[in-house]
Every structure is written in structure tokens, then in C-alpha cells.
Amino acid sequence: MVWAAPGVGKTLFTLTLALAMAGGGEVMGWKAVRPRRVLIVDGEMPEDDLKDRLQGLLGAVDGIDLDAARGNLNILARHGQHADAEFLDLGDEAKQQAVIEQIRSYHPDVVILDNLSTLATIDDENGAAETQRLVKLLAKLKQAKIAVIAVHHSNKAGTDFRGSSMLATTFEVIIGLTREKGAGLLDPTGSAKFKLTWTKYRGRRSSAVADREMRLEDAGSGMMWTASTPEAAVLEAIAALVRTGNYATQAEVRDALPEHLWPTHGSAPAKSWMSKQFSLAAANGVLPRGEAEAFFRAARSDGSDLDEAAHDDF
């Protein structure tokens, strides 16, 4: 599940994933093993708008096979149907089998449901019994060997997904997209900026599933995603390394910093960048300068005066 408040960029994010999966491409360090058949089920946007957004996002996916993407990507949009046509309802338990058969008719490996609020009729989203109907449908799709990416709205506070916590039970992964306070909605160019947080992940953690700050910008030839590690995570990691007492200089701390926290993946941080991080850590109270220097002095000695040196500076 991918959840966010309106206007943060969850549809742009999931459309990019759809292109990468359908075309066997790579985005934000995530690479498709091979092209897959993807079905986008949309209950809100006009079909032409979806196609325009997909076209604009092609440049955001590295190594995409355009022919494969065109052949593997299908759209089933409510606003692309005849006005009298009955569109699928994920919350109607009596029609769930028909919904599953309609989805299976596209032979998808992955189905993207955007979004749950417009695709599922649920009178009380906080009611566990009503939510259970939707959970059953998602479980049946899983049994049919169809991977599901469900797009959902956040709660009013913007701190979690909307509705009953029971909804979380069926998902292997839950990703939250949050906007910093004071940040605007999508600008007229369609760009977006948000923090991506893995709020649930059933699997072995690695740098591939690290939280990150995402930005979608117009690179001239098309839209392009850029990702960076949240500043707070970098500062906390630097402070933790210094407090081990094993490093005598900023350079040694830089060399020990995990690669997924580097400002540019694949390129070791510059000396000036590390110096700036120490300044930020001091300014934010994460690692006062006096404390850092005390640990550095202790590390340059035999280490026996570590606690005493640090305490004196406090």
C-alpha cells in the first residue's frame, strides 16, 4: 500500500513504478528483473490524463524498453467507460468474484488500484467488519498470483493511512508519502516533493528500503526523480559513529558512514559535505561540537580516557 494526502504525488509515484515494471526499467535504485504485465485500475482520473502523465514520466525510468512497456501496460479507468457502464466495486462482497475475473481477464502480474476510496464502497472505513470485505478481495488477488499495489489516502493528520488498522494485515509493504509542513501542493509543472517512509516491510532490510526524500522535477527532456537520504537519519548516524569512540577524525567517520547514507549513491562523500553535516549536527543539538571533539581526542589516545574527556566537555 502507498498512502499519502491529496496532492502529495502518490499517483505520479505509482505510475512511475508501473512504467518501470512494464518496461523492465530502473527507478530510484529499484530495478525490474524483467518486464511484467501491469494493469492500472483508476477510479478518479480521466483516461487521457493518465496517458499524458505516463508519457511525461517515460524519461524518469532508466533503461526502459518502450515496446515492452506499451505491450505490458493496460489501463482500466472509470472515466474511460460508457456513462451507463457499471464499474467494479472492491467493497461489494457479492460482486467480488466478478471483480477478480475482470482483473484476471487482462492477465496481469501486477494490478495498481488507485485509489481505494474511489474503488471500494465502504460506509465506515474505521469499521473492522466492513474493512474485512476489502481485505478478503485483496487476499483472493494474492491467491491468484497477482501482486497488488493499493493507493490510499492518509488520515486527517497525515501521519498514517485512513481507516481501520485491519487493512494493514494483508500487505507485505506499506509506504507513506508525507509532505513537510509549509510545503506546497504539486506545482503547475506537475512536480512533487515528499518524504518516502517504509512504515511496514516484511523482509530483510537493506539500503534499497531506506527512507528517502523524493523530488520529481522537469529535467528539460522530461520528468526526473531524484532521491536523497533524510537529513535527520544522516546526522543521527554520524552521532552514533562518533560516540562509539572508534574514530579520531571527521574523515574516519566519513569512511565508516554506510553507503546508503551517502549524498550521491556510488560516490563517497566529499570532505566539505562531511564538515557541513557536523555543523548541522551541532546546530540541531544532535552532536555538540565539544562532545565530538572529546570523543575524537579520546580515540587518538589509548581510549582509556574516553568517558572522562567527554564528561569534562559536557
Residues 85 and 96 in one domain: yes
For residue 216, the domain's CATH number is 3.40.50.300
Which is more confident, 247 or 91?
A: 247
Q: Which three cell numbers stand for residue 265?
A: 549513491
Residue 217 has pLDDT above 50, yes or no: yes
Question: Taking the chain, what is the end-to-end CA distance rounded to the nearest angstrom?
Answer: 45
Q: Which of 181, 203, 228 is the last residue of a domain?
A: 228
Domain boundary among 195, 228, 261: 228
Q: How confident is the model at residue 204 (pLDDT cuts 50, 70, 90)?
A: confident
Task: Give the integer Cα–Cα distance in Å for 76 and 37.
Answer: 14
CB burial of 187-226 (b: ≥16 within 10 Å; e: otherwise) equals: eeebebbbbbeebeeeeeeeeebbbbbbebbeeeeebbbe
Tell me, yes or no, whether 131 and 34 share the same domain: yes
Over residues 37-74, the pLDDT tens digits come to 999 999 989 899 999 999 999 989 999 999 999 999 99
Q: Is the domain of 277 the same as that of 139?
A: no
Q: In 184-267, which ranges are continuous DSSP H helix?
A: 231-242, 250-256
Mean pLDDT of 237-255: 94
| 45: helix, strand or coil | coil
**Tens digit of each residue's pLDDT (9 = 90 or more) over 255-313:** 999 887 887 766 788 999 999 999 999 998 999 999 999 999 999 986 555 555 445 54
Q: What is the 8-class DSSP label of residue 161?
A: B
Together in a domain, 268 and 198 = no
Same domain, 220 and 268: no
64 and 125 share one domain: yes
Q: Tell me the whole-structure pTM to 2 decimals.
A: 0.76
Domain end position, chosen among 184, 208, 228: 228
What is the tens place of the pLDDT at every residue in 267-282? Answer: 788 999 999 999 999 9
**Is there a single domain that holds both residue 209 and residue 265?**
no
Q: Which domain holds residue 100?
A: 2-228
CA 53 from chain center: how many Å? Answer: 19
Number of domains comprising the chain: 2
Same domain, residue pair 211 and 112: yes
Same domain for 156 and 298: no
Same domain for 81 and 123, yes or no, is yes
> Does 314 have pLDDT greater than 50?
no
CA nearest 189: which of 64, 52, 62? 52
56 and 117 both lie in a single domain? yes
Phi-psi region of 139 (alpha: psi -120 to 50; beta: other; left: phi over 0): alpha
Verify that 120 and 147 share a domain, yes or no. Answer: yes
Burial class (CB in 10 A: 0-12, 13-18, 19+), 129: exposed
Q: Which segments of 185-269 are extended strands (E)? A: 192-201, 212-218, 223-228
